[in-house]
Structure 1
Amino acid sequence: MRCLIALVALFVAAHGWAAESEPDEFEENRRVAQAVDELGEPLYSPFIERYVLDELKQLRVDMANVRVELIQQVVDREIDSIDRGVTYATNTITYFFYLIAGVSSILVVVGWTSIRDIKEKMGNLADEEVGKLVDVYEARLRSIEKQLTQKTRHIDANREEIERTQEMHALWLRAGLENSAANKIAIYDQILATKPNDTEALTYKADAVLELGEPQWAINLCHQALSIDKGNAHAFYQLACAHTVLEHYDEAIQYLAEALRFSESYLDEILQEPALQPLAELPAFQELVGERGHDAST
């Protein structure tokens, strides 16, 4: 969401830059930063997110169609190659018969053998050569059929993945619009039923559980997320909030330090989070926030 806001702000600033003739680069950067800082409210809506998701879905569908077209072109070329090979073999055999007929006529004239014997021998030889060609092209056709089957399965798998991704995005949109913590938990459970190792769903579920006054449950969810991703800053942040509710202030400050170690962007949220207010007067908290704030300013 923040990336979307920043992109919109940069887009607005870029339009302002195009209106002037060769502006100073430093002044333009300052104006872009000022436009981002002065944003009063998000410049997005669920409808914009829905539009972006639909565009992504259409892009994936188009890619799948392109793959199908490419496969069809490859198959057509293979079939054309086979047709040319069969035509070549047929012409070769025809000319071969003409040659045999001429040679047989000469041999009959000189009395070497009868036309019937020559015909039988040449027929057997021709059948043998044609059989070899048929076996070769049957093997090629079986290989093409196998490749087509694999491509079809791959396309079906991609289609299912697109549908599953679309469903996941729809659930995240519902969770973002839901105000009830219990309803959010139900939505996160649906996401986890489809994707059990989704650390983002686990940490956001921990946040909703914490709103219901279940800090121990939230702690268990955060540790489950950390078992999947040991560097998940959001899981450390939620652990700090849960331990603060349980009045385990030392553990809370340790988890806040871990969250800031993996992501400095949590500094502002730490200062504004109501659940962390009991830590505000602690020297360790002030030292942690003060050092991070000084590092961020420098």
Structure 2
Amino acid sequence: MRSLKVLALVFLALMPLSGLAQSGSDSSETTETRDEAAQDRNARETVENLEKPLYNPFVERYVLDELKLLRSEMAQQRVELTEKIVDRQMDSIDRGVSYATNTITYFFYLIAGVSSILVLVGWTSVRDIKERMNKIADEEVGKLVETYEKRLEAIERQLTQKTRHIDANREEIERTQELHALWLRAGQETLSANKIAIYDQILDIRPDDCEALTYKADEVLELGEVQWAINLCQQALTIDPDNAHAFFQLACAKTMLGNYDQAIHYLRETVKRSDTYRESMTEDPALEPLYGMEEFKALL
């Protein structure tokens, strides 16, 4: 009894200590929850106050990776479909050959039986029957061989066509990967001369790339080569007559040459095709001589 009383006293003494420990842990958990909520609110306020995207090439990289994955899956599906078609046609050929072999075998049995009867009757000799049987068999086998040779040639043509198509898709994927790497390099370069060299490499791979032509014109304007930039923009408009970026670069070039009326005309064409350039019109230093003109203000 005395030992039980001692244990009860010890338990009652420890009860307040456990309550204090539990309250301390609850207070620490409440403090951590409040800190996490404050960090969440700060992150949301930072994201909501963003005025520009963090890094556009990430979006381009995502789109190109999705295109690459899609093309790879399409190529794999074509290969699998071709393999299935070839397997089915080969099975059909095997069944046809087996059927022809069985037919010829039964035909031989039938001829052998008939020839035996004729020999017994005395109609002709066994040698004549054998020669006639071989002739008929050769004719039938020749017809079957000719039919299946034509089918095999058709299968071979289909396989050749599918192989060429798969090779073309593979080359297109490789070109897309190379172009993507060049665009990333151009976005990381700071010197206009280096950017122009990269755009030239892009145009070597894809000469009708209007985006590369217009961005090259932008860098050429930075170097003061106005006429060169005009030629590049006109080349881009020849490929794509509705390219808004080409019209915008032409407006900048005409402003640098002092042809303000033509510059306003090209800015109108730009705004017709894309309203997003209204903000760029007020930020591009090449268009500063137009800021005081009423026509320019009307565009804004």
Q: Quickly name the TM-score band, shorter chain normalised.
A: 0.7 to 0.9
Rounded Cα–Cα distance in structure 1 between residues aligned with 2:228 and 2:144: 71
- Equivalent residue in structure 2 for 1:80, among 74, 88, 91: 91
Rounded Cα–Cα distance in structure 1 between residues aligned with 2:70 and 2:246: 33
* Residues 1:232 and 2:243 are matched in the alignment: yes
* Residues 1:143 and 2:146 are matched in the alignment: no
* Residues 1:277 and 2:283 are matched in the alignment: no
Rounded Cα–Cα distance in structure 2 between residues aligned with 1:178 and 1:200: 17
TM-superposed CA distance for 1:45, in Å, is: 5.8
What amino acid does structure 1 have at the position aligned with 2:221? L
Could you say if the C-alpha distance between residues 139 and 120 of structure 1 is closer, same or farther in structure 2, counting changes exceeding 3 Å? same
Please give the secondary structure, in 1, of the residue aligned with 2:258: coil
Q: Residues 197-229 of structure 1: CA distance to partner in whole angstroms, max 9, x if unpaired?
A: 211111110000111122221111111111222
- Equivalent residue in structure 2 for 1:101, among 100, 109, 112: 112
What amino acid does structure 1 have at the position aligned with 2:180? H
The structure that has the greater radius of gyration is 2
TM-superposed CA distance for 1:287, in Å, is: 2.1
1:160 aligns with 171
2:70 aligns with 59
TM-superposed CA distance for 1:131, in Å, is: 1.0
2:15 aligns with none
Could you say if the C-alpha distance between residues 107 and 128 of structure 1 is closer, same or farther in structure 2, counting changes exceeding 3 Å? same
* Residues 1:248 and 2:270 are matched in the alignment: no
- In the superposition, the TM-score normalised over structure 1's length comes to 0.80
Rounded Cα–Cα distance in structure 1 between residues aligned with 2:138 and 2:126: 18
What amino acid does structure 2 have at the position aligned with 1:165? T
- Equivalent residue in structure 2 for 1:119, among 121, 127, 130: 130
Rounded Cα–Cα distance in structure 2 between residues aligned with 1:198 and 1:219: 16
What amino acid does structure 2 have at the position aligned with 1:240? A
Rounded Cα–Cα distance in structure 1 between residues aligned with 2:229 and 2:201: 18
Structure 2: state its 5+ residue gaps. Answer: 1-45
Rounded Cα–Cα distance in structure 1 between residues aligned with 2:117 and 2:201: 87
1:39 aligns with 50
TM-superposed CA distance for 1:246, in Å, is: 1.5
TM-superposed CA distance for 1:142, in Å, is: 1.6
Rounded Cα–Cα distance in structure 1 between residues aligned with 2:225 and 2:242: 24
* Residues 1:130 and 2:138 are matched in the alignment: no
Q: Which moved more, 1:84-93 or 1:136-145?
A: 136-145
Q: Residues 79-136 of structure 1: CA distance to partner in whole angstroms, max 9, x if unpaired?
A: 1111000000000011111111111122222221122211210111001100110111
What amino acid does structure 2 have at the position aligned with 1:83? D
1:200 aligns with 211
TM-superposed CA distance for 1:271, in Å, is: 2.3
Could you say if the C-alpha distance between residues 37 and 286 of structure 1 is closer, same or farther in structure 2, counting changes exceeding 3 Å? farther
Q: Which moved more, 1:59-68 or 1:89-98?
A: 59-68
- Equivalent residue in structure 2 for 1:223, among 234, 257, 269: 234
Rounded Cα–Cα distance in structure 2 between residues aligned with 1:268 and 1:176: 21
Rounded Cα–Cα distance in structure 1 between residues aligned with 2:61 and 2:247: 30
Rounded Cα–Cα distance in structure 1 between residues aligned with 2:117 and 2:75: 63
Rounded Cα–Cα distance in structure 1 between residues aligned with 2:232 and 2:298: 29
Rounded Cα–Cα distance in structure 2 between residues aligned with 1:251 and 1:288: 14
TM-superposed CA distance for 1:61, in Å, is: 2.0
Could you say if the C-alpha distance between residues 177 and 246 of structure 1 is closer, same or farther in structure 2, counting changes exceeding 3 Å? same
Could you say if the C-alpha distance between residues 70 and 132 of structure 1 is closer, same or farther in structure 2, counting changes exceeding 3 Å? same
Rounded Cα–Cα distance in structure 2 between residues aligned with 1:65 and 1:238: 42
Rounded Cα–Cα distance in structure 2 between residues aligned with 1:193 and 1:52: 23
| RMSD of Structure 2 on Structure 1 (CA) | 2.0
Rounded Cα–Cα distance in structure 2 between residues aligned with 1:173 and 1:255: 30
**Number of residue equivalences:** 256
Please give the secondary structure, in 2, of the residue aligned with 1:73: helix
TM-superposed CA distance for 1:288, in Å, is: 2.6
Aligned-pair identity (%): 70
2:9 aligns with none
Rounded Cα–Cα distance in structure 2 between residues aligned with 1:119 and 1:157: 57
1:295 aligns with none
Q: Which moved more, 1:231-240 or 1:138-147?
A: 138-147
2:224 aligns with 213
Rounded Cα–Cα distance in structure 1 between residues aligned with 2:235 and 2:48: 36
What amino acid does structure 2 have at the position aligned with 1:91? N
- In the superposition, the TM-score normalised over structure 2's length comes to 0.80
Could you say if the C-alpha distance between residues 260 and 211 of structure 1 is closer, same or farther in structure 2, counting changes exceeding 3 Å? same
